[in-house]
Chain A
Amino acid sequence: MIIAERKPLEAIAGMMAPYRKVLVVGCGTCTSICFAGGAREVAMLGSLVRLARQSQGTPVEIAEVTVHRQCDAEYLLPLAPQVEAAEAVFSMACGCGVQLLAETFPARRVFPALDTKFMGVTVAPGWWAERCRGCGECVLDRTGGICPITRCSKGLLNGPCGGYRNGKCEVDPSIDCGWLLIFERLKALGELEALRAINGPKDWSVSAAGRPRSVVREDVRTYTEEATA
């Protein structure tokens, strides 16, 4: 899922300062699950800002709503009346949600209330860790199911750099060396041989560093070329 974290209250309050009527929109999927932007967080943010503004003598009217998923316009369209009634909209989804809201309601200012962090997994309740960078061409088949691009701070493709100490990464000694993890996993699988193969240079043009990407699946697509044109 996508992991995000709420922006500091001051930052949100700053963005909200010019407005007297705002709408806060939560997302019921990823950011709900990572305790950043679900119904609970929306309510909490609402009460916090209301309180803060009250005490500053500039009360603000806050409408709160949480949709099932902000990355599908179908869930956003029904918000039209509420968006209409507000001077600004604050999204508690990942960056995708914020942007789709803005695209759907071009007449309104849409602000992010969260910092979108990464794609990751739940390690334990309240603790999430990054696992995938969406590089566009997965290498996990060759690395024992551990992603070198994500888990190695330098994203090396052919074994560790010389800097690891006691199994820890030289960039941040609090994390494990990704390549050591890969080595041990392959050893446990009896597939150390796989490390002998040299991975050629990676095609970064299909990664986030390349260009805005999109995926089109002919088998599931329901729109026509003309409709999008």
Chain B
Amino acid sequence: MSGTGPALIICTCGGALAGRLVFDRLAATPGFGPVMVTQDFCMPEGWRRAAVWCRQAGADVLVVAACGTPAATEALGRVATAAGLDAHRATVVDVREACAWVHPEPRWATAKGVRLIAAAAAGLTEAVRTPPPAEIIPSGRVLVVGPSRAGLAAAGRLRELGCQVVVLDPSRSDSSRASPAGDPTSPDSVPIPGRLLEVTGQAGDFTARVETAEGILDLRVGAVIVAVEPPAHVPPPDTSSLLTLLAMERWIATAGTTPSLHGKTVAFLLEDCPWPSATESALSLALSLVRQGGRSLIYYRDLGVAGRGLEERFREARHAGVTFIRMESDPPRIGERDGRWVVEVDVPGLGLFAETADVLVRGDAARPPDLGDLAEALRVDLRPDGRGPGERMPLEPVFTERPGVFWIGPSRSPCTVDQAIRHGEAAAMAALAAAAPGRRAVSVQAIVDTGRCALCLTCLRVCPHRAVTIGDGPAIEVLPAACQGCGVCAAACPAGAIQMVEAPGRRLLAELDALLSGPALDGDPIIMFACANSAVPAARTLGRLRHAYADRILLVSVPCLGRIEPEHCLRPLAAGARRVLLCGCYDRSCQHLVGPRRARMAAERAAVVAGALGLDGGAIQTASVAPVDWHRLAALLDAVAAVAEEGGAGDRAARGEAAGERAAEGSAAGERTVKVGTGKVAA
């Protein structure tokens, strides 16, 4: 760094911030070299002027006190490029929405602004040098597991887009027949019977180990699409058994028109089956039976028609003579008389209602095949019901936690034919983005210090995106195309060996230290760690709405709450902060899947340590908010400020005790094992 110290640009937003912030005081923030006050930083003329000034000032660290709008961030990028600054050594501090507009008293708003500016500077000075982007050379090939409708739709679309596709058929993997078209790499090969054993590497550059009749094969692929189907059923020997919808479908498909069903009555039991896919197949079977002169009865409680064209088909079936019988609470009673089934239900208003049928078809949402091995091969977690990857908002309906791996079709959730095809085509496009040939530069976000890494594998185990791998080198390796920059690994690494480019560990602590000193606020500070995906946008909305909250609430943006370590919670308390708030997504809406949970773990651990030190462990609090829900955030901030106001010694002691109790529970260990729980620290 040149001797001048970091440069500071203050934007007055065309004078709109005058009277709300005291610019002289902002400009006097300690530690800075040259200072420029401008009024139009985000305008083309403004950022050009700023770039020229930056070059002349010769500083290589730049803080811009402006607003949190995307325009300001874009302008910063332009200034950095034009002035030849490392983009990671320049930052915008939001003094508009976060101070000027939410704190009506200029003195406090300015005091907060000074702290925010100082913190940004401290963070930048600690920042690591940006490593050059990693280069990925995608394989241009996609592996589709499961030649189902969804899988074939995906494969078809990918081929149309010029991508090579290999389709694997795991349901036939144990058939001893050799594959008809042996070369899986030939572009138009038919599905190869085979089983996926393991997928290593990263999006664009995976190695898929596959077991086929010919032996074990390693395929280089850029993306993997899972589209397996429930296994095929053997056609039943006679009509007197209880069939599933799927079995019935397959049976009719193989037998063509089924003379044995001619004139027969078939009852479909859909009472526990609200899936549109079940309705779809029951409706088409019932219709075809009725058209062949048979009789179809459909028993249902909630008819699932939430699929394209299903309600229309339902009406068509009714007009064609399919009988629909709605039941309420009790399941139907099934008996037998003269070799035929008797189905008896209690229909509201009609009483008991009995029908006889020749064939019974049970509509269960087609059971998925056992997906355990496949999930393990892909390192993707299954849902508790054994279906595809988690019910997590950011993943629905085609993504998995692992970038470059997609999951579609009935093994994810029961879907209609139309949906299966649509999802297949959607997954194809998503896969293309990962696999399309052509070099791709990926910026590296988590950097492992090879000298410090103890190869303990903690990062490998906690990374929610499966971006960590054991390589050949002396340290663990982060795969840049898989890493999403959440910082969970950096927070968990016991050796402190991982640095995040955007918010390195040292930087976060340096920022905190700077934030916790500086001009007096309207009370003891309250630190709020805010997830950049949820709490930060919500807080910005508060700013735009001019919704005032306590001035002493200081917001620290983190890429994900999973980045927070116990140390981050303890520092502020030790430095006199009244409360520490960890505010991020909900468990099911977190982009990084584990953020809120890891934050709770960190908070709990910090609370126990704080308790042991006589600090107020209860002052550490976690909360969830959606980016669109500014009301919840406003209510939360008001409540936190109010509690901090009254937080006296008495309730502090009580909280300390509570933390101690938790500690005692945590330390009850059985075998001679050591569990790092919340308890250990205080025990």
Q: Which residue of A lies closest to B461 (CB)?
A: A125
Q: List 28 A-B contacts (CB under 8 A).
A: A5-B680, A6-B681, A32-B454, A32-B495, A33-B454, A34-B674, A34-B676, A39-B494, A39-B496, A40-B493, A40-B494, A40-B495, A40-B565, A40-B567, A44-B566, A47-B574, A51-B574, A55-B614, A66-B452, A122-B457, A125-B458, A126-B677, A127-B675, A128-B674, A172-B670, A172-B671, A174-B671, A175-B670
Apart from the given pairs A33-B456, A43-B496, 19 other A-B contacts in the complex at a CB distance below 8 Å: A5-B680, A6-B680, A9-B612, A28-B495, A32-B456, A34-B676, A39-B452, A39-B496, A40-B493, A44-B609, A47-B571, A48-B612, A48-B613, A66-B495, A118-B672, A127-B676, A129-B671, A174-B671, A175-B671
- Chain A residues near B670 (CB, 8 Å)? 172, 174-175
Contacts A6-B680, A28-B452 given; indicate if A117 touches B613 (C-beta within 8 A).
no
In this assembly, does B433 line the interface, its C-beta being within 8 Å of a C-beta of chain A? Answer: no
Asked whether A127 lies within 8 Å of B673 as measured between CB atoms, the reply is yes
A35 at the interface (CB under 8 A from B): yes
Determine the distance from Cα of A82 to Cα of B305 in the docked complex, in whole angstroms. Answer: 74
Contact (Cβ within 8 A) B496 A38: yes
Bound Cα distance A47, B674 (Å): 24
Chain A residues near B454: list those with CB within 8 A: 28-29, 32-33, 38
| A68 to B615 CA separation, bound complex (whole angstroms) | 33
B residues in contact with A3, CB < 8 Å = 674
* Binary interface encoding of chain B residues 485-502 relative to chain A, with 1 for a CB under 8 A from any of its CBs, else 0: 000000001111100000
Cβ of B462 and Cβ of A125 under 8 Å apart? Answer: yes
A28 and B456 CA atoms in complex are apart in Å by 10
A213 to B497, CA, bound (A): 35
* Chain B 486-525 interface residues, beta-carbon cutoff 8 Å to A: 493-497
Please tell me if the beta carbons of A52 and B613 are within 8 angstroms of each other in the complex.
yes
**If A8-B683, A28-B454 touch, does A128 touch B496 (CB 8 Å cutoff)?**
no
- Is the Cβ of A33 less than 8 Å from the Cβ of B494? yes
Complex formed: what's the CA distance from A41 to B462 in Å?
19
Q: Is chain A's binding surface mostly helix, strand, loop or mixed?
A: mixed
CA distance A44 to B496 in the complex (A): 12
The 4 closest A-B pairs by CB, nearest first: A174-B670, A33-B456, A175-B671, A39-B496
Contacts of B682 in A (CB 8 A): 8-9
A binding-site residues for B, Cβ under 8 Å: 3, 5-6, 8-9, 28-29, 32-35, 38-41, 43-44, 47-48, 51-52, 55, 66, 68, 117-118, 120, 122-123, 125-130, 172, 174-175
- Point out the residue from A9, A117, A125 that lies within 8 Å of B672, measured CB to CB: A117
In the complex, B570 has a CB within 8 A of chain A: yes
Taking CB as reference atom, which chain A residue is nearest B609? A48
Q: Which of B389-447 contact A (CB under 8 A)?
A: none
Inter-chain contact A39/B495, CB cutoff 8 Å: yes
For B574, the closest partner residue in chain A by CB is A51
A171 CB, min distance to chain B CBs, angstroms: 11
Bound CA span A5–B683, Å: 11
* A28 contact set on B, CB distance < 8 A: 452, 454, 495
From B457, B565, B675, B683, give the contact of A126 (CB < 8 A): B675
Residues of B within 8 A of A55 (CB): 613-614
- Structural contact, B496 and A117, CB atoms closer than 8 A: no
Shortest Cβ distance from residue A69 to the other chain B in the assembled complex, whole angstroms: 9
Decide if A47 touches B494 in the complex (CB within 8 Å): no
Closest to B497 in A: A39
**Chain A nearest Cβ from B287, distance in angstroms:** 53
Contact of A9 among B456, B566, B674, B681 (CB under 8 A): B681
Q: Which of B454, B571, B614, B615 has the most CB of A within 10 A?
A: B454
Q: Which residue in chain A gives the minimum CB-CB distance to B669?
A: A174
| B495 contacts A51, C-beta separation under 8 Å | no
- Residues on B with beta carbons closer than 8 Å to the beta carbon of A41: 494
Query: Chain A residues with Cβ under 8 A from B613's Cβ?
Result: 9, 48, 51-52, 55
In the bound assembly, the distance between CA atoms of A35 and B457 in angstroms comes to 12
Cβ of A128: which chain B residues have Cβ within 8 Å of it?
A: 673-675
Q: Which of B574, B673, B680 has a CB less than 8 Å from the CB of A130?
A: B673
* Interface contact A35-B671, CB-CB below 8 Å: no
Contact A5 B674 (CB under 8 A): yes
Contact among B461, B567, B677 for A47, CB-based, below 8 A: B567
Smallest beta-carbon distance A67→chain B, Å: 11
A44, B567: Cβ atoms under 8 Å? yes
Q: Identify the interface centre among A3, A33, A118: most chain B CB within 10 Å of its CB.
A: A33
Residue of A39, A66, A123, A174 with highest tally of chain B CB at under 10 A: A39
Binary per-residue interface labels of chain B (603-621) against chain A in the complex, 1 for a CB within 8 Å, 0 otherwise? 0000001001111000000
**Alpha-carbon gap, A8 to B574, bound state (A):** 20
Question: Of B570, B609, B676, B683, which contacts A35 at CB under 8 A?
Answer: B676
Chain B residues near A175: list those with CB within 8 A: 670-671
User: What's the minimum C-beta distance from A143 to chain B, rounded to whole angstroms?
Assistant: 18
| A38 and B496 alpha carbons, distance in the complex (Å) | 8
Q: Which chain B residues lie closer than 8 Å to A172 at the CB level? A: 670-671
Contact B673 A123 (CB under 8 A): yes
Question: Do B494 and A35 touch across chains, with their CB atoms under 8 A apart?
Answer: yes
Residues of A close to B672: CB separation below 8 A: 117-118, 129-130
With a cutoff of 8 Å between Cβ atoms, the chain A residues found around residue B609 in the complex are 44, 48
Q: Which of chain A's residues has its CB closest to B673's CB? A: A129
Cα separation A129 to B458 with both chains bound (whole Å): 16
Residues of B within 8 A of A129 (CB): 671-673
Q: Nearest chain-B residue to A128 (Cβ)?
A: B674
List, in ascending order, chain B residues with CB within 8 A of A47's CB.
Answer: 567, 570-571, 574
